[in-house]
């Protein structure tokens, strides 16, 4: 009997031990499962952060016409422009065109802040030092395979992130975008998920931007024959037309001209620029025209001057007019050919001393 009870107790103890072991396995399994879930969420978060960084790469955009890359950002030097709160966003353009080309022929560049597109039609002065040439080089032509670094002036509202959009000309669905942290210009460290200017100066904090003062007559409509008078120059608008080729005065012998590419047309602004300043006016000092087609399609132009014979001068550092002399101004804006074939609204604008002048073509 004692043996039977001993065997019975032994059997019961074995059963209890098995049950405990089984329960322990289940608990461990549950812990393992929980750990796995937590680990998975952590990895997903890291992946999402990496994807965000990947999506916000600096501009490096290549199309048939060439390549444009974001280089950096810096404050505008004192004297570069009369406007306040201006920065210089720098890019490098490498041409892939068979003929001398400018960046604006291949790419459009737009800036947005707080959801609103910023005005980039700002004039600049030689008092800005090296930045004067940097900004002027946006209009420099380069040969195939050549590279030029240039700057674009942007008047910002504050130091909140700046969105940069670079699109292929004539293909609005072909573009790249990036978000630029302007904290580096205000003495703050750039955030991890936004590229900062590579060579942005770590200087003292900038003054808080002031609200732009309201300007009367911010936009003025002009007509053919009107004269715009400023302290530095007078400009008389002679003609605005659509043309497929801009020819010089003398075509009796060999001459150079500007011929629009296939499928494109030029908006041509013809005027007389009289230099009233006490220093030379270079081509880069002349204001740049912009065309607006069908209420929203915008195209930036460039400027050349007529040498009075059989060619044009286009080099940004070339003297357009010495003091108290005039030059023949030609603003050229290359647009899709549909601009000429359509009846949709079309007008040109240019900004002079803070006022935007508008001429309605149709």
Q: What tokens appear for 244 in the block? A: 């497929």
The whole-number pLDDT of residue 108 equals: 86
338 φ/ψ angles, rounded to the nearest 5 degrees? -60, -25
The whole-number pLDDT of residue 77 equals: 86
Task: State the span(s) of the chain assigned CATH 2.60.40.1240.
Answer: 60-186
- Mean pLDDT of successive 10-residue stretches along the chain, which has 362 residues: 55 57 49 45 53 72 91 87 87 90 85 83 73 83 89 88 87 84 65 42 45 58 94 95 92 89 94 93 90 92 88 86 95 94 93 90 94
DSSP 8-state secondary structure symbol assigned to residue 10: H
| DSSP-H helix ranges across the chain | 2-55, 103-106, 130-136, 338-341
Q: Considering only CA atoms, which of 173, 215, 177 is closest in space to residue 195?
A: 177
Assigned CATH for 60-186: 2.60.40.1240
The whole-number pLDDT of residue 290 equals: 93
The whole-number pLDDT of residue 192 equals: 39
The whole-number pLDDT of residue 90 equals: 93
The whole-number pLDDT of residue 297 equals: 93
CATH class of the domain defined by 219-360? mainly beta
* Pairwise CA distance, residues 203 & 209, whole Å: 16
The whole-number pLDDT of residue 201 equals: 42
The whole-number pLDDT of residue 330 equals: 95
The whole-number pLDDT of residue 97 equals: 85
Tally Cβ neighbours within 10 Å of residue 181: 24
């Amino acid at each position: 009997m004692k043996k039977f009870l001993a065997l019975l107790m032994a059997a019961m103890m074995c059963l209890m031990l098995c049950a405990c072991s089984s329960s322990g396995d289940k608990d461990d399994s549950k812990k393992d499962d929980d750990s796995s879930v937590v680990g998975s969420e952590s990895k997903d978060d890291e992946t999402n952060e990496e994807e965000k960084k990947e999506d916000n790469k600096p501009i490096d955009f290549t199309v048939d016409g060439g390549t444009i890359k974001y280089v950096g950002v810096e404050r505008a030097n004192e004297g570069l422009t009369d406007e306040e709160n201006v920065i210089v966003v720098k890019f490098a353009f490498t041409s892939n065109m068979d003929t001398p080309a400018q960046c604006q022929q291949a790419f459009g560049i737009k800036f947005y802040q707080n959801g609103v597109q910023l005005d980039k039609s700002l004039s600049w002065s030689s008092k800005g030092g090296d930045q004067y040439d940097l900004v002027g080089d946006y209009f420099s032509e380069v040969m195939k395979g050549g590279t030029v670094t240039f700057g674009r002036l942007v008047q910002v509202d504050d130091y909140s992130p700046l969105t940069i959009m670079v699109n292929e000309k004539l293909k609005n669905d072909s573009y790249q975008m990036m978000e630029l942290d302007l904290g580096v210009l205000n003495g703050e460290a750039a955030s991890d998920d936004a590229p900062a200017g590579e060579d942005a100066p770590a200087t003292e904090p900038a003054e808080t931007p002031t609200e732009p003062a309201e300007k009367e007559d911010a936009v003025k409509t002009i007509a053919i024959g009107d004269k715009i008078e400023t302290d530095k120059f007078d400009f008389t608008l002679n003609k605005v037309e659509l043309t497929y080729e801009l020819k010089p005065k003398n075509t009796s012998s060999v001459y150079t001209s500007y011929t629009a590419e296939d499928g494109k047309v030029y908006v041509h602004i013809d005027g007389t620029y009289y230099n009233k300043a006490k220093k030379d006016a270079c081509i880069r000092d002349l204001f740049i025209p912009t065309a607006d087609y069908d209420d929203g399609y915008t195209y930036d132009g460039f400027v050349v001057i007529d040498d009075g014979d059989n060619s044009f001068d286009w080099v940004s550092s070339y003297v357009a007019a010495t003091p108290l002399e005039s030059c023949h101004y030609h603003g050229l804006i290359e647009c899709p050919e549909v601009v000429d074939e359509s009846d949709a609204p079309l007008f040109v604008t240019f900004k002079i001393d803070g006022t935007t002048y508008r001429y309605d073509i149709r």
